[in-house]
Chains A and B, each alone.
Chain A
Amino acid sequence: MKKTITMNLSGIIFHIEEDAFEKLSHYLQTIKGYFKNAEGCDEIMNDIESRIAEMLHSKVSTVKQAVVMADVESVIAVMGKPEEFAGDSADTKDSSQNKQQEDATGYTYTGRRRIFRDPDDKIVGGVCSGIANYFDFDPIWLRAAFAIAFFAFGTGLLLYIVLLIIIPKAKTTAEKLEMRGEKVDVNNIGKAVNEEFQEFRKKMNDLGKEMQSPENKERMRSGAQKGADFLKEILYRIFKGVAKAVSFLLILVGVVLMVALLATLFGRGVVAVSDGGNDIRLSLYEICAVVLPDDLQIQYVITGLLLFLGIPLLSMIYGGTRCLFDIKRKNKIVKYAGNLLWFVGLGLMVYVGIKIGADFTEQSGNKQQLYISQPAGNALYLDLKEMPKDDERKIDRHYSHNFYRGDWALISKGDNTFSIGYPRLDIVQSQADTFELFVIKTAQGFDKKDAANRAKNIEYKIVQTDSLIEFNNYFDIHAADKIRAQDVKLVLKVPVGKTVFLSKRMEGIIYDIDNVTETLDSDMVNRRWKMTQKGLECVDCQGLDEAIHLSHPPPPPVPPSHEHNY
């Protein structure tokens, strides 16, 4: 049993066995090669082809339908080998007067090479050997390159799979011949350009002749027609060139973005978020660690992103490659699979979104009173305790990536990531005659209980040293709790007649404190404020301009300190 190819020779359909077809097609190409410089090459070829068709036609019947090797061989024997009648064509070359012109414009056969995977020389899918065939080099270098790229986040593997899908396999002998068609090299490109130029010149000449010929308007119109056709062709070629350039760009951008995507998903890549001019870099894993609910695997996010963003990138590369290499064969399965996978990715992203969103359904919180000992005098000094100096320095050094959104921050410290939030302090009038400090913690969760639990887990510290209260400028969010809009609000109740002093650093924590003069928060620091029946009144605000000298609160008495930890 043998496979046959359907062949159209001079308008007659033949079923021809593969090897016979290869032989015949090679034979015809060789003849064409001999005649390519002769005048009327096309016509000679047509005559020869129609003669061969006639001979083959007599060799097939209803009982013997296929053309076999023996038929082709006998036809070739009758027609003769090209070298046997080549001398004649050489004679014809210089015999004719108008040879020069014909030669320049004559059709030359260009068996343009096309890209195919080579099934006869393959390690995996013949991709490397196919590409190497196309560009004429040893496939071993490409194989080595792919092997190395395999370790770059699997980029090599992915690219290989993409190419495996895009580049069709050379299944038939005809395709195998095309695969090794005329070489694509500089000379060849030069030749092609030259041909185009000659054609262009011929057309211009023709056009010129048409114009000059003393014929009637009919001729002029056909001249105009030719001009239009010519213009159309030029535009088509320009368009094609642009399309190729664009497709090359598509491939380039697609591959670069693909590498970036894979690096983000599988490497220790980063997601950059702009925050008022500062670039904040976080890895996807860090974000997921603090945002994803416990029962949601990070794989959902990774798979979702990979499909949702990766599939369009792949199709970019796919389309670009198809256009660049003029690949005609379509692969429907790949198309449908691609679409399906993209929707799977979309579904996963939506699922993750809903899951996270569900964790923000309810809000709950608690209000606690923090015990503070009443100061000996009538004044309370308020100061902000920033992150321990040591810690801060480390953070600056190692973790330029903090992520501010609203009032929480994400800090990575070595391999650990922890999240903190920023509290706000308000000062109001107390009904009692003592200072009272309340802390209101709130958080969100999928139900009230969940939210309340989270709120309870928020850790916030103050340190009182006699009349000095130091507030921490951050609160800790329990790692297992994730970030769920945790918030801490502090309310200091000041009895009428008593004063508070706000240190300069308190600027970082006070928020919209009501006072009788409607002074802004930033102007309230470094001042003493006395609670009156009407509200807070500034005690030492006279001569505001020269009063910047108090950068530190007056040193409070130094009794043994005790720490409250809630």
Chain B
Amino acid sequence: MNIENSKAQMKKGILEFCILSILSNGDHYPSEIINKMKDAKLLVVEGTLYPLLMRLKNDGLLSYRWEESASGPPRKYYKLTPQGEQFLKELEVTWAELVEAVNKTTRKDQ
């Protein structure tokens, strides 16, 4: 087993959840999402984000609009769709359960 691979696999599963969470606080364009995730050390390379956004959009969880930018090309601002909000809520529940379950099973002092 490759440790890097395992780490990446673990992160990947929660990336979608994090993206949806970030977008639930307001509309963002990819660079902003990336910066936030980088701050949180969730994301190593930006390239990962684009296919994810695409997938979420195609599944109807996200939508986007174009906005002119003062510098550089126009930006895509992503926002959650009602379906996405519903999806996020379910994920939040699942996440809370997971954290609890994982904490329980991995706690050493028990």
From B9, B46, B53, B59, A96 is in contact (CB under 8 Å) with B59
B102: Cβ under 8 A from any A Cβ:
no
Stretch at the interface among B18-26, B68-76, B85-93: B68-76
Q: Provide the residues of chain B in CB contact with A79, threshold 8 Å.
A: 45-47
- Judging by beta carbons under 8 Å apart, are A44 and B51 in contact? yes
Tell whether, in the assembled complex, residue A11 and residue B71 are in contact, meaning their CB atoms are under 8 Å apart.
no
Distance between Cα atoms of A360 and B59 in the complex (Å): 92
Q: Please, how many angstroms separate the alpha-carbon atoms of A54 and B30 in the complex? A: 11
Contact A43 B54 (CB under 8 A): yes
- Residues of A near B30 (CB, < 8 A) are 47, 51
Known: A78-B45, A79-B45, A87-B12. A44 touches B50 (CB 8 A): yes
Taking a contact as CB atoms under 8 Å apart, the answer to whether B73 and A84 are in contact is no
Q: For window 27-59 of chain A, which residues contact chain B by CB distance below 8 Å? A: 31, 35, 38-40, 43-44, 47-48, 50-51, 53-54, 57-58
A452 to chain B, nearest CB (A): 92
Are B48 and A85 in contact (CB-based, < 8 A)? yes
List A contacts of B72 (CB < 8 A): 12, 50, 53-54, 57-58
A40-B54, A54-B69, A81-B47 known; 9 other A-B pairs, CB under 8 Å?
A35-B51, A40-B58, A50-B74, A54-B73, A58-B72, A78-B46, A91-B12, A95-B55, A96-B55
Main secondary structure of the interface of B (DSSP, over half): helix
Determine whether the beta carbon of B47 is less than 8 Å from that of A84: yes
**How far is A31 from B74 in the complex, measured between Cα atoms in Å?**
22
Contact between chains at A44 and B44 (CB < 8 Å): no
**Do most interface residues of chain A lie in helix, strand or loop, or is the interface mixed?**
helix
Determine the chain B residues whose CB is within 8 A of the CB of A81 once the complex forms: 45, 47
- Expressed in whole angstroms, the minimum distance between the Cβ of A273 and any Cβ of chain B is 72
| A interface size (C-beta, 8 A) | 32
Q: Report the nearest B residue to A38, measured CB to CB.
A: B51
A12 to B57, CA, bound (A): 26
Chain B, interface size category, equals: 20 to 34
A57 CB contacts on chain B under 8 angstroms: 71-72
* 4 tightest A-B CB contacts, nearest first: A80-B45, A85-B48, A54-B72, A80-B47
Q: Which of B31, B51, B59, B76 contacts A88 (CB 8 A)?
A: B51
| B98 interfacial by beta-carbon distance below 8 Å | no
Partner of B71, one of A51, A58, A78: A58
A48 touches B50 (CB 8 A): yes
User: Would you list which residues of chain A between 48 and 97 have a CB under 8 Å from chain B?
Assistant: 48, 50-51, 53-54, 57-58, 78-82, 84-85, 87-89, 91-92, 95-96
Shortest beta-carbon distance from A47 to chain B in Å: 5
Chain B residues, Cβ within 8 Å of A58:
71-72
B55–A87 CB distance below 8 A: no
Chain A contacts for B47, CB-based, 8 A: 31, 48, 79-82, 84-85
Q: Counting CB contacts under 8 A, is A10 at the interface?
A: yes
| Cβ-closest chain B residue relative to A50 | B73
Does B52 belong to the interface (CB within 8 Å)? yes
CB contacts (< 8 Å) of A91 on chain B: these are 12, 55
Residues of A with C-beta under 8 A to B57: 40
* A-side contacts of B45, CB under 8 Å: 78-81, 84-85
- A sample of 12 cross-chain residue pairs with beta-carbon separation below 8 angstroms, ordered by A number, consists of A38-B54, A47-B50, A48-B47, A48-B50, A50-B72, A50-B74, A53-B72, A54-B73, A80-B46, A81-B45, A84-B44, A91-B55
Q: How far is the CB of B34 from chain A (nearest CB, A)?
A: 8
User: Interface code B56-72, partner A: CB below 8 Å = 1, 0 otherwise?
Assistant: 01110000000001011
Chain B, residue nearest A90 (CB):
B51
For residue B50, which residues in chain A have a CB less than 8 angstroms away from its CB? Answer: 44, 47-48, 51
Q: Does B48 contact A84, Cβ atoms closer than 8 Å?
A: yes
